[in-house]
Structure 1
Amino acid sequence: MIVCVCRRISDREIARHAHAGMGFDEIQFELGVAMQCGRCEGCARDVVAQCHATRPVAALRQETAESASGACAV
């Protein structure tokens, strides 16, 4: 879905950058999202927040499972 109509930036593109560890401000600078009319800022921030919210939980669960089993992270 297109989030930023002014720059033709999709939610997938924003999510890709968020999954790479970038925050909203970095994504805004890199892609130019929410820099013209600003109507997409709320949606773009939601996409970034959802990406950041889903990743740490999975990583935390994996680390907890590894530490419980005695596995060593390389």
Structure 2
Amino acid sequence: MVICSCNSLTHKDVESAVAHGATRPSEIYAAKRCKAQCGNCVPGVVCMLKEMRMRQLQAAEALAHAACLPAAAQGGALSA
């Protein structure tokens, strides 16, 4: 889906930038080597950025939580 028609910025571009560490809208535009022109896309970019960062944080928390569980709780067998 096209997020910014001025720069042909798509949701895949935003996803890629966030996956590569973008945490601010300006970093998303920089990854595409562009900048906001008319500004109509900025709210959508910010919304997508927040959603993706939230998913990243939730995934990291789930991994950290799983690492703290005993092997039996993770489905592993205990050795005798």
Specify if TM > 0.5.
yes
Structure 1 residues without counterparts, runs of 5 or longer: none
Identity, % of aligned positions: 19
Structure 2 residues without counterparts, runs of 5 or longer: 72-80
C-alpha distance in 1, partners of 2:67/2:31? 35
Higher relative helix content: 1
TM-score (norm 1): 0.81
C-alpha distance in 2, partners of 1:48/1:54? 10
Count of residues paired in the alignment: 69
Amino acid across the alignment from 1:62: L
C-alpha distance in 2, partners of 1:4/1:22? 17
Amino acid across the alignment from 1:16: S
TM-score (norm 2): 0.75
Q: Which has the higher contact order (CA 8 A, sep 6+)?
A: 1
